[in-house]
Amino acid sequence: MLLRKEFIQILGNRQVLYILLFPPIVQVTILGYAMNPLVKHLVFAVVDESKSPASRQLIDAFTANGVFIPQGGGDTAAGVYAAVQSGKVDAGLVIPADYAQAVARGAPGDVQLVFDGVNSFIANLGAGYANLIVQAYNARGEPAAPLSPQITFAYNPGLVTAWFFVPGLLGAILLITGLLASASGSVREKDEGTLEQLLMTPASSLEVLLAKIGPLFVLFLIALLASLAVSRVLFGLPFRGDAFLFMGISSIYIVAGISIGILISTFASTQQQVVLISIFTALPLMMLSGAFAPIESMPPFWQTLSLINPLRHYITIVRDILLKGAGIGVIWPDVLALTAFAVLAIWISAARYRSQLR
Amino acid sequence: MNLRRVWVQCIKELVEFRRDRLTVALAFVLPLGMLLIFGLAIRLQIKNIPVAVQDFDRSPFSRDFVSRLGATGELVVVPEPLGPSPTAILDAGDVRAVIVIPPGTQRALAAGRPAPIQSLVDATDVVNALTIKQILTAACAFAGAAYGPPAAPPTVVMHVRIWFNPGGNEALFIVPGVYAVILAMYPTILAAIAMVRDKERGTIVQAYASRLRASELIAGKCLALECIGLAEALAIMAIGFAVWGVRFAGDPLPLLIGTPLLVCCQVLLGLFIGARTNTVTSAIQAAGSINSLLSVLLSGFMYPVFAMPAFFQWLSFVIPTRHFINITRDAFVRGAGWPGVWTEVLALACIAAVLAVAAWLPLRRMQMTD
């Protein structure tokens, strides 16, 4: 009965339906393409005061693989510095006038690379690339160094960044939309005064809550499957693990997200408050989950804190199942944490649900 | 446009905002909390990535090589028993790479024979994988020169200098970006709610019935929310200065003009969303999830815009945060002033103008929609 009421309420509003189903799919598409932490197309200005075959060879080495794109530069080192200073280019390479003579003498030729360090992350990655380029340039013509790394990339041999981001995005989007939709949906009952009627029915709080979770749960499961299908087509995202295991765990996760939303709604009394709290909850959950940057790099305190983040566990599980084909034997600690979280969230919100009428 | 009516509308909006004590508290406490969490916890720089080493060589060379791997702080070396296969170790998920030093590597090196170091790298996280590759390559070059035949002197010596933030202080990069993200989020949501709430409660009918024009309604609401947004901006920038010492690096004028413009853009976007939706729930979904995700991810807050495919680079031009982030980073880190950012300020002004028209269109008749 209650379940039917909730279904009718959600399906009756086209706009809500659109807004719940569309964003996950569109966002996965856009962000799967757009999120690219790899340093490519660094625009750099070159000044070649040496103007010699040797210096042109070095510039070619820099621009050969598309990481550094030469742009402008001018004739003086000062011009390059000014371009970096104003943020027009990301880096500047200065080859001094005596470069060719030094190389001809057999002495090392000094060149200078200036990086715009406003984005320290990019500057460091870029400097690393530049060092590799110079290292390779110095080694050309020499017999291969005896000590060499033989690197095999496991799970994602093509180094497709979307494979890393899509699981994170799926989790984050499900959490944010789930949280907002359930929180604002159930606080509206309070706003409109229908909460009293709901609580007067013989149904227990748990039954009321489960009925609330039902329709959203179905919608989000559909959204999840659709986004997965889209990322499979667009990015070739593999699905190496057990589909049933995946669906089971995703269900637990979706329930957890929706119940956090309902829990939030028991604390708030207006739509405005509920949204502010939801966004405030969702964003740190998203940023401290390992969706975008590895957990290991965070300060230790935050690493420990992230253990209570359901998104962190879900993302680990999704990556393990989709990319590594891992079974329950590897992921059980995360599954356990996620389940505990979902049960706890439902339990607390059921306990609070009735007491919110005062 | 009648300025008095605009003013009255603005006062009405502010009174309504102030009466809801909890919302006032949330509108200021939440951004500050967010700033603290983001500023203290987000690290893009790779650090402490666990890698396992199976050392079959057990020689001075291999010990030197292993300590070299951990030297930069990016990797943490976990000694691994020699029994299990690298694939099994990686599958267990506790380390991001397994590096195998085969027996006899030191002897092979001393004799000048090729000595490959094998490694299996978890490429789920591509940035991680590439960083591990860089460190391995560098360690091989270093240890190879120390234990193998002497290498020829280099032709090029490159001196890398990183400007503006030579210490690589990540807070300096993250915090000015967080300013933009927070200002993209909260004013938009408050504005969307301010607009759609009147509709949902039906009180908008009174505004329709009065002589208030659509432009006056929008201007009034916009003015009120602009004040709230600017107060938020002031609060978070003060905290940023107090906690991380983020201060002006150059001419503050572009920021002083850019901040009101950005808040204006975001408020108008919120009003537009509020004007197009009918329920608070859907307005919130649109303003909260779509806007905040796009402005976090397509603005260059974390990953540079120039690394995106061309289409998204174009798309990001219409996202106000993208322009504002360049202004804040310039004002607080680079300090180049007008020559570097005048285009960004101009872009913000254009976006604000377009959004003002967009918000006005659905309301211009001041009539109920059927």
Domain ranges of chain B: 3-42+168-363, 49-147
Same domain, A183 and A315: yes
Do A205 and A350 lie in one domain? The reply is: yes
Give domain status of residue A348, yes or no. Answer: yes
User: What's the distance, CA A141 to chain centroid?
Assistant: 42
Helices (H), chain A: 2-12, 14-34, 53-63, 77-85, 99-105, 120-139, 161-192, 194-200, 205-235, 243-267, 271-287, 300-305, 310-319, 328-355
Q: Which helix (H) or strand (E) holds B309?
A: none
Burial class (CB within 10 angstroms; exposed 0-12, middle 13-18, buried 19+) of A108: middle
Res A314: pLDDT: 92
| pLDDT of amino acid A330 | 81
B95, two tokens: 């380390």
Choose the mutation target among A6, A90, A120 for the interface with B, i.e. most B CBs under 10 Å.
A120
DSSP state for residue A324 in the 8-state scheme? I
Contact call for residues B98 and B89 (beta carbons, < 8 A): yes
- Average pLDDT for residues A136-156, to the nearest whole number? 75
Cα nearest neighbour of A183 on chain B:
B281
**Confidence (pLDDT) at A154:** 80
- Any A CB within 8 A of B91 CB: yes
Average pLDDT, chain A: 80
Please indicate whether, in this complex, the C-beta atoms of B292 and A283 are within 8 angstroms of each other: yes
Name the band, by pLDDT with cuts 50, 70 and 90, for residue A174.
confident
Q: Does A219 lie in the same domain as A78?
A: no
- Asked if residue A60 is part of any domain, the answer here is yes
* CB distance B276 to B196 below 8 Å: no
A229 is in which domain, residue-wise?
Answer: 158-355
Residues A195, A328: one domain?
yes
CATH superfamily of B49-147: abc type-2 transporter like domain (3.40.1710.10)
Count of domains forming chain A: 2
Provide the pLDDT confidence category of residue A2 given band limits of 50, 70 and 90.
low
Q: For tokens 């997965």, what's the residue? A: A228
Could you tell me where the DSSP H helices lie in chain B? Answer: 3-19, 21-41, 60-69, 86-92, 105-110, 126-147, 170-201, 204-209, 214-244, 253-276, 280-284, 291-297, 310-316, 320-329, 338-360
Q: Are B281 and A187 in contact (CB under 8 A)?
A: no
Using DSSP bridges, classify how beta strands B156-163 and A109-116 pair: parallel, antiparallel or unpaired.
parallel
CB B333 within 8 A of CB B164: yes
Which of A50, A85, A272 is the mutation pick for testing B, counting most B CBs within 10 A? A272
DSSP letters spanning A85-96: HTTSSSEEEEE-
* CATH number of the domain residue A62 falls in: 3.40.1710.10
Domain identity same for A337 and A199:
yes
Residue A79 CB contacts under 8 Å (≥ 6 apart), including other chains: A45, A47, A73
- Of A81, A104, A139, the one marking the end of a domain is A139
**Residue A70: φ, ψ to 5°:** -75, 140
Among positive and negative, which fits the CA dihedral B151, B154, B157, B158? Answer: negative
Task: Answer for the pair A46, A70: CB distance below 8 angstroms, yes or no.
Answer: yes
Nearest to B80 by CA among B50, B103, B104, B60: B50
Asked if residues B95 and B51 have their Cβ atoms less than 8 Å apart, the reply is yes
Chain A partners within 8 Å of B121 (Cβ): 151-154
- Picking from B158, B193, B304, the nearest residue to A111 by CB comes out as B158
Q: B46: helix, coil or strand?
A: coil
Helix (H) or strand (E) holding B122: strand B115-122
Tokens of B214: 């659509």
> Average pLDDT of A343-355?
82
- Other Cβ atoms less than 10 A from the Cβ of B253: the count is 12
CB A115 within 8 A of CB B84: no
Inter-residue contact A209 to A258 (CB < 8 Å)? no
Q: At what angle do helices A205-235 and A14-34 cross, to 10 degrees?
A: 40
Whether A230 and A272 map to the same domain: the answer is: yes
Whole-angstrom distance, CA of residue B45 vs CA of residue B34: 20
Same domain, A99 and A181: no
Residues of chain B with pLDDT under 50: none
In terms of Cα–Cα distance, which of A94, A107, A54 is closest to B154?
A: A107
DSSP symbol at A296: G
d(CA A309, CA A136): 43
Res A143 pLDDT > 70: no
What is the C-alpha to C-alpha distance for residues B52 and B222, in angstroms, rounded to an integer?
57
Mean pLDDT on A316-337: 86
Q: Is B220 on the interface with A (CB under 8 A)?
A: no
What's the pLDDT score for residue A13? 66
Type of residue numbered B311: F
What are the φ and ψ backbone dihedral angles of B158, each rounded to 5 degrees?
A: -105, 135
**Same structural domain, A165 and A124:** no
Q: Count of residues for chain A?
A: 358
Record: contact A296-B20, CB cut-off 8 A: no
Give the number of other CB atoms < 10 A from CB of residue A234: 14
Contact, A175 vs A286, CB < 8 A? yes
pLDDT at site B237: 92
The answer to whether B249 and A118 are in contact (CB under 8 A) is no
Contacts of B84 (CB under 8 A, 6+ apart): none
Q: What is the DSSP string of A121-179?
A: HHHHHHHHHHHHHHHHHHHTTSPPPSEEEEEEEES-TT--HHHHHHHHHHHHHHHHHHH
Q: Do B38 and A34 touch (CB under 8 A)?
A: no
- Is A17 inside a domain boundary? no
Domain stop point among A112, A139, A166: A139
Report chain A residues whose CB lies below 8 A from the CB of B35.
Answer: none
A188 contacts in B (CB within 8 Å)?
280-281
- For residue B166, give the H/E element and its range: none
A279 closest CB neighbour out of B288, B297, B309: B288
Round to whole Å and give the CA distance between A217 and A301.
33
CA distance A124 to chain B (A): 8
Q: Are B156 and A64 in contact (CB under 8 A)?
A: no
Residue A114: helix, strand or coil by DSSP?
Answer: strand
Residue type (1 letter), A15: Q
The 10s digit of each residue's pLDDT in A4-24 is 776 776 666 666 666 667 777
Quick one: what percent of chain A has pLDDT higher than 90? Answer: 3
Label residue A46 exposed, middle or buried (CB < 10 Å: 0-12, 13-18, 19+). Answer: buried
Domain shared by A129 and A165, yes or no: no
A25 located within any domain: no
CA distance A84 to B162: 11
Task: Kindly report, residue by residue over B308-329, the tens digit of the pLDDT.
Answer: 777 888 888 888 999 999 899 8
Q: Tell me what pLDDT residue B348 has.
A: 92
Per-residue pLDDT tens for B11-45?
Answer: 888 888 888 777 788 788 888 888 888 888 777 77
Residues A233, A121, single domain; the answer is no
Say whether both A113 and A203 belong to one domain. Answer: no
Is A216 inside any structural domain? yes
Most confident of A116-130, A284-298, B236-250: B236-250
Q: Are residues A278 and A191 in the same domain?
A: yes
